[in-house]
Every structure is written in structure tokens, then in C-alpha cells.
Amino acid sequence: MQKAGGIISLIAGVFGILSAGVTLLVGGAASAFNASGSSTVVGLGWGGVLFSFLVIILGAISIGAKGKVPGILLIISSILGAILGGTLVAIFMALALIGGILATLGVKSAPKEINA
């Protein structure tokens, strides 16, 4: 289940980068026409790029990790990406959140040694 969470997060991160690119494109077009609030849209696009890259990195780390830390960081970055990335990025950050939960819950505990 931990590998599945990492793979889901990788896919969500790639689609998050694509949707952040669309957000940047829309913000740039609005900026070209001097629309109000266009700098906010561009800022949301860059936030989406940043957190989508973080999701990709943490998803790859959580595939082979032995602890819960990458999964927890994945959950935190997906929540922050949904807040600071814009609407299109938030859709895929919800998928990354599910991947982070799977990566966290799927960690197997190490077998305990019995000393005789």
C-alpha cells in the first residue's frame, strides 16, 4: 500500500505541474490585458509548481522509505499545495493527499526480535 501511495502521488504531481502551467498561462494572458488580480493568479501558478514538485519528490521517496515521515510530509505539502496552488492544482493535490494517506498507513512495522 505504501508503493501504491507513492505512485498515486507521482501521478498527481505530474498532473499538478501541468495544471500549474495552465494557471500560469491564464495569469500571463490576464496580465497582458492589464486585468486586475492577474498577479495573484500568476503567484498561485508558481505556488502550484513548487508544491507539485514537492509532491513528486516526496512521492518518489515514500515508495522506498521505511518510515512514516515522507508520507506525513506528503500530506502536509498536498494540503499546502491545494491552498496555495489555485483551483486546478487543488484537484490534483486532493489525489496527492490520498496518496500521502496510503503511503503513511502502508508502512509496515519492523519485526521484533525475540532474545532467548
| Domain-wise residue ranges, the chain | 2-105
- C-alpha cell recorded at residue 8: 498515486
In this prediction, residue 107 has a pLDDT band, given cuts at 50, 70 and 90, of confident
Closest CA to 13 of 85, 68, 69, 72: 85
Report residue 72: phi and psi, to 5°.
-70, -45
pLDDT for 31-48, tens place per residue? 898 888 888 889 999 999
| Spatial distance between the Cα atoms of 86 and 71, rounded to a whole number of angstroms | 23
Q: What is the pLDDT of residue 1?
A: 84
